[in-house]
Structure 1
Amino acid sequence: MALVFALILSCFIGLTQGQLRVGFYSQTCPNAEEIVSSVVREAVASDPTMAAALLRLQFHDCFVEGCDGSILIDNGQGSERQAFGHQGVRGYEVIDRAKAQLEAECRGVVSCADIVALAARDSIALSNGPSYDVPTGRRDGRVSNSTLADNMPDVSDSIEQLKAKFRQKGLSHKDLVVLSAAHTIGTTACFFMTDRLYNFFPGGGSDPSINPDFLPELQATCPQNGENSVRLALDRGSELTFDNSILSNIRDGFAVLESDAKLYQDEATSRVVDSYFGLLSSVLGPSFETDFVNSIVKMGQIGVKTGSRGEIRRSCRSFN
């Protein structure tokens, strides 16, 4: 059963001039959040992997121009969604369906950026993760350019590069660990595994941090010179359930992505991973679910546009 967390959001007011708030649409479009939830429920019921896709969509949106729906724009090869760093991102049609229903009910009121944040929240809850309140009131950005996504976190980044990229967005090394644990749901393609499995060193070979019992399993799923589009679970044994098993897998050498494995090869980030385990961790230690909620709400405030700094798009795929 999903846990409900009451969040204290006042600490974020300085970042947003107090214009983001829980229940932003309570007067102007009272059914807004339920409409988004209904569309997401239907999408996930039809395709359970869509939950992870919608969660990933928010991360990729927020890490470029801020949480402003810039990734949704579809205006040709130069649009942000075409960036190399956004390969495999999907779920756009779910956002479009929610937007169409919202426009029918409350024309020109609910931003695409807020739909992305709400859809991610609902996807987590539908995956047996925590329910939480999303501050809303974002406006949609007016810029979408593939070159702006050049600095997205990448699976081959060093741990120092990953920490630096998160710091640039106002996120800590703890946020890096906790948000990476969103990989508790979803899959990845063999395309992202080739170097780790076969070309980790200049002369070839696999990443030695992979548990020896896990390596044959990965290589069987993603054989050398095999089909790159084959997909495998990011969280071995728990790909559809939102929980902290991804961190246990990382600790034990069962991380699928190289970037996840590196979280346990750095003193600061490995301490965060370890903090969720141990004999007394369930009683005295931090709560993974609480920490995840805090981190994703924090991430959802990166570079938001409010007031006159953005627009409310009529279609999420194009500027007004």
Structure 2
Amino acid sequence: MAVAAAALSTASGGALQYNFYGSSCPKAEEAVRNATVKIISGNPTMAAALVRLFFHDCFVRGCDASILLDQSNSNPQPEKLAIPLRGYDAVNTIKAAVEAVCPGVVSCADILAFAARDSTMVSGGFTFPMLGGRRDGLASDLNDIFGSLPAPSMQAQQLISSFKAKGLSADDLVALSGAHSFGITHCAFVTPRLYPAVDPTLNATYAAALENVCPQGGAGGTVLNNNNVTGPNVLSNQYYKNLGTREVLFTSDQTLTSSDATFNMVKDNAANPVAWMARFAGAMVRMGGIQVLTGTQGEIRKVCGATNSGS
């Protein structure tokens, strides 16, 4: 209840509303939740994948489900061609479950937002209300990604500026970075901190373990995430404790301890898990309000991978 209240009191979504489908599709959020829980029960790694899809979608063109569009005549180079992400099939499964309840009513953009919220519930053990009312965009262009997404090599001030450009604060940056406590990454994003010399901000013992997983000149497989205590599929504030011991994967992680604007929040999130949950919830809601389409803008897609025109 404390987490939900915090999210409600700090959210700013314009035309978005809580319980947006209360009249038009009362069982919409229940359908999303049931399908999401079933998917994650079968494959626990999908929780992190769905949260990451939501983040990528919102940061590129706003939360308009552009990340979900497949290649077509009108979208010859969609965003999904630029970065290998997981979870598209899961979103399609969730969409089908919602369409079975009330066809043509719930947007893919809202389904992605609700699924990210419900992934938090399954893997993090807390939940919060999520605004609804987003409409689906008609365009997706991989070129829009460049300059939009924060990179794992960024320093603190660059990250703060990246989030500020989307209307989010340094506190939101730190809170949402907690999502790096679950999921997996590729060695290609880790090896720049290992070779030709180990990044001095990286814990030496942890670096040696990473070198075993990601040898220099290796094929570039996957490496476990930042959560070396509670497991790769658990969303928690353990990430902030690992920042303190310098056992995190990316430059963009460790740099959060290099700035007073972010380090104080890192320490507080490490010490106060419930406070972090509230901050994460509020930041997720605020992120879900980035450049949304509402009212008669865009459309409600019949399927998430294509516009209704099919062009």
- TM-score normalized with structure 1 length: 0.90
Aligned to 1:296: 284
Q: Distance in 1 between matches of 2:121 and 2:11?
A: 23
Q: Distance in 1 between matches of 2:130 and 2:101?
A: 21
Q: Distance in 2 between matches of 1:93 and 1:230?
A: 21
Q: 1:234 to 1:276 in 2, by over 3 A?
A: closer
User: Are residues 1:233 and 2:225 paired?
Assistant: yes
Q: Distance in 2 between matches of 1:189 and 1:88?
A: 10
Does the Cα contact within 8 Å between 1:155 and 1:192 map onto a contact in 2? Answer: yes
In the TM superposition, residue 6 of structure 1 has moved relative to its aligned partner by: 2.6
Q: Give the alignment partner of residue 91 of structure 1, picking from 67, 87, 90.
A: 87
Aligned to 1:141: 137
Q: Distance in 2 between matches of 1:162 and 1:128?
A: 24
In the TM superposition, residue 10 of structure 1 has moved relative to its aligned partner by: 6.5
Q: Distance in 2 between matches of 1:79 and 1:119?
A: 22
In the TM superposition, residue 168 of structure 1 has moved relative to its aligned partner by: 0.1
Residue 303 of structure 2 aligns to a residue in which SS? Answer: coil
User: Are residues 1:117 and 2:110 paired?
Assistant: no
Q: Distance in 2 between matches of 1:314 and 1:277?
A: 43
User: Are residues 1:287 and 2:238 paired?
Assistant: no
Give percent identity, aligned residues only.
40
Amino acid at match of 1:307: G
Q: Distance in 1 between matches of 2:184 and 2:226?
A: 5
Q: Distance in 2 between matches of 1:78 and 1:110?
A: 26
Q: Which runs of 5+ in 2 are unaligned?
A: none
Q: Distance in 2 between matches of 1:214 and 1:8?
A: 35
User: Are residues 1:308 and 2:296 paired?
Assistant: yes
Residue 54 of structure 1 aligns to a residue in which SS? Answer: helix
Q: Distance in 2 between matches of 1:173 and 1:247?
A: 15
Aligned to 1:182: 179
Q: 1:104 to 1:41 in 2, by over 3 A?
A: same
In the TM superposition, residue 234 of structure 1 has moved relative to its aligned partner by: 2.6
- Higher RCO structure, 1 or 2 (CA under 8 Å, sep 6+): 2
Amino acid at match of 1:264: T
Aligned to 1:218: 210
Does the Cα contact within 8 Å between 2:135 and 2:300 map onto a contact in 1? Answer: yes
In the TM superposition, residue 12 of structure 1 has moved relative to its aligned partner by: 4.5
Q: Distance in 2 between matches of 1:288 and 1:8?
A: 12
Q: Distance in 2 between matches of 1:101 and 1:289?
A: 29
Aligned to 2:45: 49
Aligned to 1:201: none
User: Are residues 1:164 and 2:161 paired?
Assistant: yes
In the TM superposition, residue 8 of structure 1 has moved relative to its aligned partner by: 5.9
Does the Cα contact within 8 Å between 1:221 and 1:232 map onto a contact in 2? Answer: no
User: Are residues 1:192 and 2:185 paired?
Assistant: no
- TM-score normalized with structure 2 length: 0.92
Q: Distance in 2 between matches of 1:234 and 1:257?
A: 9
What's the Cα RMSD here?
1.8
Moved over 3 A (4+): 7-13
